A and B are shown apart, each in its own frame.
Chain A
Amino acid sequence: MGHYVLRRVLQMIPVFFGATLLIFLMVYSLPGDPIAAMFGDKAADPAQVASLRHQYYLDQPLWKQYLHYMNNIFHLDFGTSFTGRPVSEIMADAFPVTIRLALVAFFFEIFIGLPLGLIAGLYRGSIADTLVLVLTLIVISIPVFVLGYIAQTIFAINLGWVTATVQDSTDITQLILPGLVLASLSLAYVARLTRTSIGENLRADYMRTAVAKGLPRQTVIGRHLLRNSLIPVVTFLGTDLGALMGGAIVTEGIFNIAGVGNVLYKAINQKEGPTVVGIVTVLVLVYLVASLVVDLLYAVLDPRIRYA
């Protein structure tokens, strides 16, 4: 087990280098000149452009820029943005916001999606099952931005139950609505995955044995059925955590949340290399850690799986 984890962690090192290099190359190959764009429609003063380019190390060949960047990273310096702010500070601001939002969404996925799927799976063909199927179908087929604006108009502007946008991202109650919108799509997937998985396992031999042994229904469902049915759901949830962090840009825009998605979008627009590479690298690491945790969870859920 310990060996397995160590090996996985070591594997992250080449992935880290590969990811930074690839992202660096991609940012570099974005069209347009970020320095000239600072001047807007006004023609950029050539002497000033040259001086600015020098300041941001953009006057060097690409490989030198990359080496310079990596060298700084090893001194824990992620570079500075065009506003003169260290990228590490920008990340330290944006990530907590996004993590909070992602956790709220994650909470909804688990505590609404799972029970819905469980009920639908246990009572297949019932009204509850049909209702869950229809509801999830609606959520899956409506794009998230439509859902977001509808929720905002109804709950904030018409009913006035919540503020239209997030005024203070440390206040969890304000994150409930954006969290629900962000979670909606995955929530539907979780419900459907659970339903299918439960439906399959209901007919499994070990279930018949458990019922035949006379175990209470609660134990049969909780310990035997649910636990075994969770493996595909956990796989989905693990990768989804990464998606929630980097892919919340639409929701963040609607509810004006200054999270990673927004910062990243702005940085890509401005071709602000250090910010893009820094944030995306951290996101890649989040994915890697999440998938490691998922793999370890398999062993907890299904004792037949062992890591040597």
Chain B
Amino acid sequence: MPTGTRVRWAVVSATSVALVATGCGSSGDSGSGGGSSDTSKTFTYQSSEPQNPLQPANANEVGGGRIVQNLFKGLADYDPSSGKLRMQVADSIDTSDAQTYTVTLKSGWTFHDGTPVTAQSFVDAWNWAANVGNNQINSSWFGDIEGYKDVHPENGSPTTDKMSGLTVQDDTHFTIKLYNKVSYFPYKLGYVAFSPLPEGFFKDPAGYGQKPVGNGPYEFVSWDHNSQVVTKTFANYQGVDKPKNGGVVFKMYTTAEAAYADLQSNNLDVMDQVPPSALANYKNDLGDRAIDAPQGAIQNIGFTLYQPEWQGANTAKVRQGLSMAIDRDTITKTVLQGSRKSATAWVAEGVEGYKSGTCGDFCTYNPDKAKQLIQEGGGVPGNAIKITYNADGGHKEWVDAVCNSIRQATGVNCSGDAKTDFKTARAAITGHQINGLFRTGWVQDYPLNANFLADVYRTGAASNDTGYSSPEFDKLANEADQADSIQDTATGYQKAEEQLALDMPAIPLWYYRTNSGFSTNVQNVEFDSFGNPAWTQVEVKG
């Protein structure tokens, strides 16, 4: 859920995913042509005050997430140039059956306090984070691991504080046993919640949440609340992505407008997203310091399939018709000022397993066909629909545009239904208190198509807000999960995705893009599909 609010959950770890480097619009070298750089100098990045303590499994919003992923480094992360999984602390993650994984660690890694990173550091950290009593927001990430239900029971207190699926063999080896086969489990391990924690953490988790000690490329220096978090390069960092700068200073901004003003006057080096008011002009303002890169995020309109009027085989035609009545290309160009790209599938561009055109004709504007399909499907109940959205996320303009498009193409009365803010809208959606259509979206947790499909459309999935339940989709998804390799899983999920075109539980609208820029002080700024710059690659001019 990206633009909804500042709470954007799982903004997953590290630098990642291709596309950026290969000319999809982001400018690699900066304006003044790759001059000399000073590896001891820090650069500033636009951030927002973290909403939770800086603990790896507690950082699910951008403010805290970006800081934590620079302070910590897990077994693996995602390569910024290829988007593939890349080993970091792990030397290898092996499995023969996709259910039991053997992890071998590299030696030489230490935490910022000098203590070594061992197999125990991982196992203790995961056991602690999964424990329901420790109140970590991302605790459910450990749900695949055997024994999770003992430390995280649905009711009552945990019966033990160790998950039985985790076994330490020696300092550099441990095994992970899962409840079921999950062929893409290593992909999940790239998420920052799976970071190791130093021994000292467990004595004072709250204190370490304010002054974190990690093992990542940058070490924590200070947290001046509401103003900045200062980090510096960790000299003994063992990862493959050694920093080319002296550290990152996360400067807190409450508005993107203020950050953009600072960027233009060189008081801020790299920013997050330019404000909507600057979208039309930012490429002129910044020249070759402007960035326009794809993001692993999608905007959808979901249907309340749990309501009787949307059930029945024929209603799928109505949903397909509504989808064809939306002129995506015009809306992204005009109302959204080129900050989005029309979607042709349910998985965002650049993600492993992404296949364009799965939605086919149903995602192509065609008023005549739209009208015909809606009629064949028996029409829209009451010939009127409402799209529920949160008023605090800048969605009003495009919801109105989508409604206009639908109204003009099909004559169906469409109107927006604004809820005051993100949490109110979420409560209404998850509480099944809305009628008809609602704005929804998905930001990748990890760049694999399974994340966009299994977590959203499988029967009973935690984020299945539409109530979609298709035996065919579930069967294909389960088959994909049982595959022996990640490639096979991705191909399997592509088949499952085709089922979505037939049922249309949600209308894919468009993919997000990173519209950003950087100051004249820095060069070599590239953004990954998480919308993060490749931190360690940024060079500060000497």
Contact = CB atoms under 8 A, between A and B. Distances in A.
Interaction A to B? yes
Given A83-B53, A85-B225, A157-B261, A36 B426 contact: yes
A45 B262 contact: no
Contacts of A253: 254-255, 257-258
B222 interface: no
Interface in A126-167: 149, 152-153, 156-157, 160, 163-165, 167
Nearest to B9: A40
Interface stretch (B151-159, B323-331, B366-374, B502-510): B151-159
Given A41-B440, A51-B132, A94-B226, A157 B423 contact: no
A107 to B, nearest CB: 24
28 contacts: A31-B421, A31-B423, A31-B427, A37-B7, A40-B1, A40-B7, A40-B10, A40-B60, A41-B8, A41-B426, A41-B440, A41-B442, A47-B152, A47-B154, A48-B132, A52-B137, A83-B49, A83-B51, A84-B209, A85-B210, A94-B226, A153-B261, A164-B261, A253-B258, A256-B253, A256-B259, A258-B226, A269-B6
A163 B422 CA distance: 33
Given A41-B442, A84-B209, 18 more contacts: A31-B421, A32-B423, A37-B422, A40-B9, A40-B61, A41-B440, A48-B137, A52-B137, A82-B51, A84-B206, A94-B226, A157-B264, A164-B262, A167-B267, A253-B257, A254-B258, A258-B254, A266-B49
Closest 6 A/B residue pairs (Cβ) = A41-B1, A40-B9, A32-B423, A258-B226, A37-B423, A43-B462
A38 B9 CA distance: 8
Interface string B60-85: 11000000000000000000000000
Contacts of B206: 84
Interface string A1-38: 00000000000000000000000000000011110111
Nearest to B11: A40
B420 interface: yes
Nearest to A253: B255
Given A45-B140, A82-B51, A163-B265, A37 B258 contact: no
A55 interface: yes
Interface in A257-289: 258, 262-263, 265-266, 269-271
Contacts of B264: 157, 164
Contact of B258 (A85, A89, A256): A256
Interface string B125-168: 00000001101110110000000000011110000000000000
A163 B226 contact: no
B265 A156 contact: yes
A52 B261 contact: no
Contacts of A252: 254
Given A38-B137, A42-B10, A85-B225, A33 B258 contact: no
Contacts of B419: 31
Nearest to A263: B226
Given A37-B7, A47-B153, A90-B225, A83 B261 contact: no
Contacts of A160: 265
Interface in B237-268: 252-255, 257-259, 261-262, 264-265, 267
Given A90-B225, A94-B226, A164-B264, A254 B257 contact: yes
B50 interface: yes
B118 to A, nearest CB: 27
Contacts of B216: none
B462 A45 contact: yes
Contacts of A46: 154
B1 A164 contact: no
B423 A42 contact: no
Given A31-B420, A47-B132, A52-B135, A41 B463 contact: yes
A202 to B, nearest CB: 45
Nearest to A169: B227
A11 to B, nearest CB: 34
Contact of A84 (B53, B155, B464): B53
A40 B1 CA distance: 7
A177 to B, nearest CB: 12
A254 B255 contact: yes
Interface in A210-257: 252-256
B460 to A, nearest CB: 10
Contacts of A206: none
A47 B155 contact: yes
Given A48-B139, A83-B50, A32 B7 contact: no
A130 to B, nearest CB: 35
B424 A31 contact: yes
Nearest to A42: B9
Most buried by A among B5, B51, B137, B392: B137
B217 interface: no
B294 interface: no
B321 interface: no
Given A83-B50, A258-B226, A266-B254, A32 B10 contact: no
B272 to A, nearest CB: 14
A181 B315 CA distance: 56
B470 interface: no
A45 B143 CA distance: 11
